[in-house]
């Protein structure tokens, strides 16, 4: 239990770190499926000489007022 708490309380800093920890895989898949379901983005050809907007995963453990996860 202590190991699980340590893994959860210290969020990963990269996607690669997150997918190595089973506790993060289900939330990642759930978030991705939600994004795809509501069509958050549309893949289109990149216009010449234009910059693109990339995306980032932000891994954060949320706590309630009493400090529990």
Give per-residue pLDDT as tens, 11-43.
888 899 999 988 899 989 999 999 889 988 888
pLDDT at 37: 92
Model confidence at 7, in pLDDT bands (50, 70, 90)? very low
The DSSP 8-state label assigned to residue 4 in this structure reads H
CA-nearest of 23, 22, 29 to 8 is 23
Domain that holds residue 18: 11-35
Cα 12 versus chain centre, distance = 9
Classify residue 6 by burial, with Cβ atoms within 10 Å: 0-12, 13-18, 19+. exposed
Residue at 19 is within a domain = yes
Residue at 63 is within a domain = no
């Amino acid at each position: 239990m202590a190991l699980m708490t340590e893994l959860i309380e210290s969020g990963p800093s990269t996607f690669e770190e997150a997918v190595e920890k089973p506790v993060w895989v289900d939330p990642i898949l759930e978030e991705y499926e939600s994004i795809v379901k509501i069509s958050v983005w549309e893949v289109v050809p990149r216009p010449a000489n234009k910059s693109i907007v990339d995306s980032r995963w932000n891994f954060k453990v949320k706590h309630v007022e009493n400090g529990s996860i």
